[in-house]
Structure 1
């Protein structure tokens, strides 16, 4: 899990949303960091919502690709197809699907001048798998039996069982053994002063304010034309829009209602990225109200998802009926939830939840009421929470919305509902396992609802361990159908990400994006390839 998602790691670990300092509000690139303000042709300054806790891939940073500081063995192109990065070619896979052999690109150096080699790959994966390493994504690699170097330029991964999407796991950034070993992996200097093979080199990280980078002139893929790149941390959507409008930023991620304020002809362009990013409400099993199956089923059909897409997202998204978007090859047809307030009321009536004088239901002296937390400054989550509470009240369920930082919210997650997010386009296993596996309940931000369903647990293991796509499809269909019977979450919307960028750079693109975005996604997913306009 990440601080902002229900997946297990940074992401990404993105757990802290820190308030901006006065210095950050006045100048995103002052003399202390050596970055130019927005404007010069060879620099770019963008506004993002969150920052990582660590910049070490050993702790989860950049695990889904597109790290500006590091490279993985493989990378994803604009169409989300795997391509070689630190590997010279795609892996050779044995007939039984248990061995993946990677031949490494020659002549690659880390930003400190030391050569990259097989030992660094082995060090990275073995360190992540070490129980002493605080990487919440370790379960994503539990398929690994061993990783061995064969000479300086070949690495062989041996799996415990055939795992169809393993190659997609190898977009994970590679850390240099010489720079990252010999220190506390969880707290050492490498976590904030990273050394990588990537297109950019970190020059400054001002917590809660910005991350500043300069182009790596010796990058194996060619020196970037954007020489200075700054990510300004602005957690408040309105503030991000204001600073973009004032000229302090070259680009920013914005919610739909703010993005549409940048009209054509303003020197700005809006880029929409389709995503697997969903918003969902956790329904903790340890709460006597949200843990009741009738309450869960009633909320699942009391909510008006289409109205949320139309009014909250301005059409930039689609109703979410589970973690998999409709239209995906992995979506289970027939699991769409209707908006049916009358049926929701009947479910509650039949379960003994009777309306009181104020319209709120009770059963055995327990009032159908619970708090719903959302992240302070996140307007989309606030809007979703308010709309959800409004729909629930019509069914006789009283939800009180509360705003807080993750530091406030996390200790309450076992009992209180949270407006959370998640989603990964890479493979169903990537999101669903950490979202729903009962053994991961209480493990950081994994399985925030403490969901416990034996049929789902079994199907998740089948989907993870089979190399047969038909078997995997049946397994994930089972997961989605079980979520109809007993929804541990109320999935609300899948959100398209909108980015507004000054029209200073040519031919920008976006990828299909996961929930964890902004830092390594958006039009700057490949900023190293940007060409400033003359």
Structure 2
């Protein structure tokens, strides 16, 4: 899905950020409570992330793809992204018609306040998310769910409206305690910032814009983690994050390829790569007089040099993107790759009446082929992609003016102005494509930011979502990808491999295939509860 990501911090504030950061997260050598030295050496970790959530309540969307450190879902993903039991004692029993999923719950699990976890908490969680009064932007992801009922204290039955093939993937969604969250305003109550869950860690503090602090849950059903203190330092600027990692203030960080490369010869740290479904794309708003023109969209789609972006901007850590589905996925539609063809792009514009002006920028009916492209401040990968896109567009006679801003600045402009956006979900093609492309969600926050509307795509998305037949689903998503060639509402640029630099002090580190949002729940710390200090 196209999601809210890091709100930028301009690179010009580097010095101020370092001062603030030093206060928020002392160097390990100073033996701070959040550091990795002193009496806590080997049992604490500080990692630098680029994003933070707006809320820590799963009822509002937090942790919906799993890997929350505070909560658990009925199921979870292992290192190979296969589903495994979590709060459920086993994988669900599914009826022959695919309409009923029955879960038995793991015995003896308690919330961190000592209250037993039961089926009523599962029922409360799902029913609350489905309640229209709940401000959960991802409610449509549970569109297939007709009812959820408890069977005693240890059984839960989900009944579907149609045989939604990936439903089990939706049950990685974190479960909240009814006895706490049910007594508050779901949208604004204290639970949104002071959550209570069943997960391996307890939140001990959240300084918004600075850090989230955790301590190990001694009563965690999976065993108390060896990393006793865990801190996520929110550092939105890539350069600042790299500087703080190099200075020793951080034990690990997510970094763009060009900055991660600077740690290749560092014998104290290792670079961990994670393949991902994370793409970068340019929204082409249909409500803009230039980007709303089909010829302009088609021309831009082949004017961009995706391979050059991978080679130069990502230093090979990624692949060209032709849609939300990566080329290596079994869901990718062969033949939808777009070849960089500047001559053809110019021909498309010529035929549509976009003629070069005296300055080389095309004009049609008195309208210049020009539009702004926004990207989030401090995000070097987005900045580089935006500049490269603008350079390629200009060669075709289209003027793109890049502008940096925070999401507060960008969001009100999304209806008519282009954005260097991102998204991607590996679990199932429905998860990303429906939110990105269905016309019913056009302009719904960060869903379908381009307000793309294509009846053939809408129909295919519904078929892919509601069919239980794998072959029918593949045909449906093939249709979506082929339609994006004919009528692109977005120009997809690259799929990005995520890179992390981590102090070489722990065993048990690994990475998964990752979604777009790789903040709290992904990276080598997706399983921090399983890390062990090296001996």
**TM-score interval w.r.t. the shorter chain?**
over 0.9
Residue 332 of structure 2: aligned partner: 331
1:473-515 alpha-carbon deviations (Å, 9 max, x no partner): 0000000000000000000000000000000111410000000
Residue 13 of structure 2: aligned partner: none
The SS at the match of 1:266 is: coil
The SS at the match of 2:122 is: helix
Contact preservation (8 Å) 2:52, 2:519: no
Contact preservation (8 Å) 1:372, 1:399: yes
Distance 1:313 1:30, change over 3 A: closer
Distance 1:17 1:146, change over 3 A: farther
Residue 297 of structure 1: aligned partner: 298
Residue 33 of structure 2: aligned partner: 35
Contact preservation (8 Å) 2:22, 2:249: no
Distance 1:245 1:321, change over 3 A: same
> Within the alignment, does 1:25 sit opposite 2:21 as a pair?
yes
Map 1:346-365 onto structure 2 (within 5 A). 346-365=347-366
Distance 1:258 1:22, change over 3 A: closer
Contact preservation (8 Å) 1:161, 1:465: yes
**How far is the alpha carbon of 1:34 from its aligned partner?**
7.5
Map 1:11-410 onto structure 2 (within 5 A). 16=7, 24-29=20-25, 35-39=33-37, 40-410=41-411
Distance 1:321 1:182, change over 3 A: same
Q: Distance in 2 between matches of 1:228 and 1:14?
A: 26
Contact preservation (8 Å) 2:162, 2:466: yes
Structure 2, unaligned stretches of length 5 or more?
11-15
**How far is the alpha carbon of 1:102 from its aligned partner?**
0.2
Contact preservation (8 Å) 1:16, 1:52: no
Contact preservation (8 Å) 1:21, 1:208: no
Contact preservation (8 Å) 2:6, 2:376: no
**How far is the alpha carbon of 1:35 from its aligned partner?**
3.0
Q: Distance in 1 between matches of 2:275 and 2:23?
A: 32
The SS at the match of 2:481 is: helix
- Comparing 160-169 and 13-22, the one that deviates more: 13-22
Residue 499 of structure 2: aligned partner: 498
Q: Distance in 2 between matches of 1:160 and 1:502?
A: 48
1:70-104 alpha-carbon deviations (Å, 9 max, x no partner): 00000000000000000000000000000000000
**How far is the alpha carbon of 1:429 from its aligned partner?**
0.1
* TM-score, reference length from structure 1: 0.96
Residue 432 of structure 1: aligned partner: 433
**How far is the alpha carbon of 1:282 from its aligned partner?**
0.1
**How far is the alpha carbon of 1:17 from its aligned partner?**
5.3
Q: Distance in 2 between matches of 1:490 and 1:296?
A: 8
1:286-310 alpha-carbon deviations (Å, 9 max, x no partner): 0010010000000000000000000
Q: Distance in 2 between matches of 1:36 and 1:436?
A: 42
Distance 1:108 1:17, change over 3 A: farther
Distance 1:256 1:22, change over 3 A: closer
Residue 10 of structure 1: aligned partner: none
**How far is the alpha carbon of 1:22 from its aligned partner?**
7.0
1:385-435 alpha-carbon deviations (Å, 9 max, x no partner): 000000000000000000000000000000000000000000000000000
Residue 419 of structure 2: aligned partner: 418
Contact preservation (8 Å) 2:506, 2:534: yes
Q: Distance in 2 between matches of 1:17 and 1:363?
A: 36
**How far is the alpha carbon of 1:16 from its aligned partner?**
4.9
**How far is the alpha carbon of 1:21 from its aligned partner?**
6.3
Distance 1:273 1:150, change over 3 A: same
1:356-413 alpha-carbon deviations (Å, 9 max, x no partner): 1110000000000000000000000000000000000000000000000000000000
**How far is the alpha carbon of 1:266 from its aligned partner?**
2.9
Distance 1:30 1:264, change over 3 A: closer
Distance 1:17 1:117, change over 3 A: farther
Distance 1:16 1:180, change over 3 A: farther
Contact preservation (8 Å) 2:17, 2:240: no
Q: How many residues align?
A: 524
**How far is the alpha carbon of 1:38 from its aligned partner?**
3.3
Residue 465 of structure 2: aligned partner: 464
The SS at the match of 2:46 is: strand
Contact preservation (8 Å) 1:28, 1:248: no
Which ranges of 4 or more aligned residues in structure 1 deviate by more than 3 Å? 13-24, 27-31
1:41-88 alpha-carbon deviations (Å, 9 max, x no partner): 100000000110000000000000000000000000000000000000
Distance 1:34 1:110, change over 3 A: farther
Q: Distance in 2 between matches of 1:121 and 1:377?
A: 39
**How far is the alpha carbon of 1:223 from its aligned partner?**
0.4
Structure 1, unaligned stretches of length 5 or more?
8-12
Contact preservation (8 Å) 1:38, 1:247: no
1:325-363 alpha-carbon deviations (Å, 9 max, x no partner): 002100011000000000000000000000011100000
